[in-house]
Structure formats: C-alpha cells, structure tokens
C-alpha cells in the first residue's frame, strides 16, 4: 500500500503509521510526496506520539515510479495529477485537510479521520 500527499510530512505519514498499527504489520506500507518537505510536521509527530506511534525516525520521501509500481493500493491525498497511474492497481483519493500550519487540536481531528479510514481499509483488505 502506498499513501501519497504533496509534502509527505503529514497526512501520508499519519496514514502509513496508522496502517502499520491497525494491520499489526500484515500490510506492507509506504508513503511518499510529490514535493517532499524537509521534515515531518512537528504537530503531526506529536499527535501520532499520543496514539503510541513514534515518527522520529521517519522523513519525507519522494514519489517515484518504482514505489507506485510496487504498490497494489495507492491512496492519494491532494497530490492531483502528480501521482502516476498504472493499470491493475486500486486507487482512492482521500479528501482531507492538510495539517500544515494547523494547531495540535486540528491535527488530532485529521489524525482521527485518517485512522477511521485506515481501519476500514485494512479490514476490507484483510477480509475482517
């Protein structure tokens, strides 16, 4: 599974971490950005730490054809036409607020919305 947003510093990082958590490692997951930032959004790291996920070793990664080709499921979050489309893959566009420049309370709300979507997706993929 691949999560893609613009900067790979917020939404896609949260989704990847939550997928690892909710799937108990049964889903191989990556994240990338069409225009990667320099670092993970500090409010995102703090909000994720609150649910037991440490993003301190994570960093924004560039979107490449290789990571898209390696994924069976590609979830995009506001990256528009920057994400390459390959036949035979499942694509979903999740419309979510960008946590950039938002306060912690807003980032928590975005995290919780991503968590609900991730939980449903993982259940669907694993047939639970």
CATH 3.40.50.2300 applies to domain 2-119: yes
55-90: pLDDT as tens digits: 999 999 999 989 999 999 999 998 766 677 778 899
Q: pTM of the entire structure?
A: 0.94
Instruction: Convert the chain into a string of H (helix), E (strand) and C (coil).
Output: CEEEECCCCCHHHHHHHHHHHHCCCCCCCEEEECCCCCCCCHHHHHHHHCCCCCCCCCCCCECCHHHHHHCCEEEEECCHHHCCCCCCCEEEECCCCCCCCCCHHHHHHHHHHHHHHHHHHHHHHHCC
Domain ranges of the chain: 2-119
10-23: pLDDT as tens digits: 999 999 999 999 99
């Amino acid at each position: 599974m691949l999560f893609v947003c613009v900067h790979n510093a917020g939404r896609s990082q949260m989704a990847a971490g939550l997928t690892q958590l909710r799937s108990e490692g049964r889903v191989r997951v990556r994240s990338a950005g069409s225009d990667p930032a320099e670092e993970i959004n500090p409010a995102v790291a703090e909000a994720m730490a609150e649910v037991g996920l440490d993003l301190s070793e994570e960093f924004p990664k560039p979107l490449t054809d290789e990571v898209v080709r390696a994924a069976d499921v590609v979830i995009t979050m506001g990256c528009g036409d920057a994400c390459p489309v390959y036949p035979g893959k499942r694509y979903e566009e999740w419309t979510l607020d960008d946590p950039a420049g938002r306060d912690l309370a807003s980032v928590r709300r975005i995290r919780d919305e991503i968590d609900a979507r991730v939980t449903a997706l993982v259940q669907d993929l694993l047939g639970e």
